[in-house]
Amino acid sequence: MIVEEMIADKTIPSTTILEQVRNLAQPLASGHYVEDWDTRSFEIGRLSDAYSLLAKENGHWANTTEVAAVRPLSVTASRYLDNESTTGQARLSMNFDFTLLDGEDYRVVSKAAARLDSAEKIVISSAAYALCYLDNPPELTLELMNLLYEEALHLEAIGRLLGIDHSEREWIPEDRLGNWELVRGCTSPLEYMVIEHCLYEGRGTIASAEGAYQLERAGVSSPVVAVMDAIARQEANHNISGFRWLRLLDRGRAEDDAALASTVRRFVEVEPVPDADGSDASLRKHFPFFLIQVYRDTGDFRLLKEHIVAASRNARRAGGPGIAPEELYRQSEKALAWCSVTA
Ligand SMILES: [Fe+2]
Ligand SMILES: [Fe+2]
């Protein structure tokens, strides 16, 4: 009997699905290469459908808007970015018939994507870690399952385009160990969503869209750019997810404010923020702190979502988040000053 039938039959209680998810995620949460990382990740993606059904049956997420926001993430992302006209595209291009790149395409993409596979690997392990060790609300569990699945799709796409043998590389290379330690230091869903999704994916939103822009400018063939575009759309939505959850988990108490400040500071201690020199890297790395300050000033999730979507679109069109540098740096500096004083 397949899982869906067993749920319909009510022979599987929800805890069993969560246990299944944790069993699948556990080896990935080690931060090391796992031979069947893809099967495990895709099974988690498949189970998310079953989990969603069961949660609805049990009366979770009676508010349909909330349900619509969590599933499926990639569709939500393309909706934000493309006014629904290309809703299916993000998914379709992940089903692209991947062929190993060669010649100039291979040279350009392998140079641009030299660190991209490890970026996907660490988020797979991070999501697995959050699923296994954090006490997440059910809706967040579902979202993390989808996130893990999408990151595995990204890794599969990159691996197949470049013919990477994952068993031959460090799953988490040395220069990402600080990131991994930050994740492993998280003890609450709020901390985790802030570090991974508000901050890291804030940078990733710009980096991935800029990546697609640069590949196109370098003359790489259009199917490859389409794959990068699909990844960039999903990264923007992962960033949006971070601020949505920050809004939901932050109860507005003094201790929530202090927790946010110390989490942001913990991030900055591991990932120092570069000077405000107007370079691409500087703008990209200040962008998440700009968002944090907008959150602090307004608490307006819709506004944050608009900023993220606009920045992603701009980075795709012209490189860079498209916010006036003085404004971006002013807000970012405020957030950085706040977290060092408050934390
Ligand atoms: Fe990704
Ligand atoms: Fe992501």
Q: The domain spanning residue 243 has which CATH number?
A: 1.20.1260
Average pLDDT over residues 176-188: 97
- 67 in a structural domain: no
- Centre of ligand 1 to C-alpha 277, Å, is 27
Q: Tell me the ligand closest to 211's alpha carbon.
A: 1
Contact (CB, 8 A) for 319 and 215: no
Q: What is the pLDDT of residues 191-215, one digit of tens each?
A: 999 999 999 999 999 999 999 999 9
Look at residue 262 in the predicted model and tell me its pLDDT.
Answer: 96
Closest CA to 184 of 222, 107, 130: 130
- Centre of ligand 1 to C-alpha 151, Å, is 4
Give the integer Cα–Cα distance in Å for 25 and 44. 8
- 322 in a structural domain: yes
Confidence of residue 112 (pLDDT cuts 50, 70, 90): confident
- Centre of ligand 1 to C-alpha 235, Å, is 6
Give the integer Cα–Cα distance in Å for 232 and 238. 10
Give me the number of domains the chain comprises: 1
- 59 in a structural domain: no
Give the integer Cα–Cα distance in Å for 13 and 84. 36
Average pLDDT over residues 166-193: 96
- Centre of ligand 2 to C-alpha 57, Å, is 29
- Centre of ligand 2 to C-alpha 333, Å, is 25
Look at residue 89 in the predicted model and tell me its pLDDT.
Answer: 38
Q: Tell me the ligand closest to 208's alpha carbon.
A: 1
Two tokens, residue 188: 């609450």
65 contacts: CB under 8 Å, gap ≥ 6: none
- Centre of ligand 1 to C-alpha 5, Å, is 32
Q: Tell me the ligand closest to 117's alpha carbon.
A: 1
- 330 in a structural domain: yes
More confident residue, 227 or 124: 124
Confidence of residue 77 (pLDDT cuts 50, 70, 90): very low
Q: Above pLDDT 70, what percent of the chain?
A: 83
Q: Tell me the ligand closest to 144's alpha carbon.
A: 2
More confident residue, 222 or 130: 130
- 217 in a structural domain: yes
More confident residue, 268 or 51: 268
For residue 110, what are the domain limits? Answer: 95-342
Look at residue 6 in the predicted model and tell me its pLDDT.
Answer: 56
- 73 in a structural domain: no
- 243 in a structural domain: yes
Look at residue 83 in the predicted model and tell me its pLDDT.
Answer: 38
- Centre of ligand 2 to C-alpha 262, Å, is 23
Q: Tell me the ligand closest to 242's alpha carbon.
A: 2
- 144 in a structural domain: yes
